[in-house]
Amino acid sequence: MSSGPTKEYEVHEWESLKGPFNASYGKVMMWYFLISDTFVFAAFLVAYAAARMSNSETWPLASEVFNTVPGLSGNHYPLVFVSFMTFVLIISSVTMVRAVQEGFMGNRQGVINFLIPTILMGLLFLGCQYIEWSHLIHEGMTMWYTPFSALGHGHEGPQQFGMFFFTITGFHGMHVITGVILNIWLLIETAKGRFDKLGNYGMVEKIGLFWHFVDLVWVYVFLGYYLL
């Protein structure tokens, strides 16, 4: 008896543009993806913490491993370069916020103006990460060998240090690459006037959520791997 109205209600719900909490289904799905991705990064960081505690006597000091700056001689700049990388990502998150705000106002040129620096800073971060990886590989660090140790120069460190470093920063780097590609696509479609025709800049907000997630994850990686 009640199958007809129920079916009609379900069709109406899924055909509507709004989902739970009055948010679009696309936005809800993005939140689901980000939550699941959070568990992956959390698992990496918990495993890293466990490995570090089990090798606390020989675990390399971050200030002695990440202590160089490209273009400057010597190794007397602990965490300066990676702090710059972190600053770049944080500023890119600010410009992404402004792009989303301009999208809410339907200002196509404003979205373009703030997407461009967001993309450039994302590329700058990736370039910095490439330099950092190249330097550490040149020093002899791999997934299976760590030439740094808390015991001093000439001692090998635990293998897990290099393994977790390349795994965690590499996995995060893949997310940054994905975010840059999405932002480039967003810039092109915005310039073509696609969202003006749709009358909705919601896609800017969805991709903005992903970009903010990438930035936030890096802050935790920076705190857990470089500072603590």
Q: Are 171 and 44 in contact (CB under 8 A)?
A: yes
117 C-beta neighbours (distance < 10 Å), count:
17
Class level of CATH domain 23-227: mainly alpha
**What average pLDDT score do residues 131-135 get?**
94
16 C-beta neighbours (distance < 10 Å), count:
10
What's the predicted TM-score (pTM) here? 0.86
- Is the pLDDT score of 5 beyond 70? no
Q: Which tens digit of pLDDT belongs to each residue from 135-149?
A: 999 999 999 999 998
* Cα angle 211-65-47, degrees, rounded to a multiple of 5: 60
Q: 172: closest CA among 219, 206, 217?
A: 217
Q: Which tens digit of pLDDT belongs to each residue from 68-109?
A: 898 887 778 889 999 999 999 999 999 999 999 999 999 999
- Judged by phi (left if over 0) then psi (alpha if -120 to 50, else beta), residue 58 lies in alpha
Q: Which tens digit of pLDDT belongs to each residue from 149-169?
A: 888 777 888 999 999 999 999
CA distance 210 to 192: 22
Q: Are 155 and 88 in contact (CB under 8 A)?
A: no
Provide the β-strand partners of residue 157. 146
CA distance 85 to 154: 29
Give the residue extent of every domain in the chain. 23-227
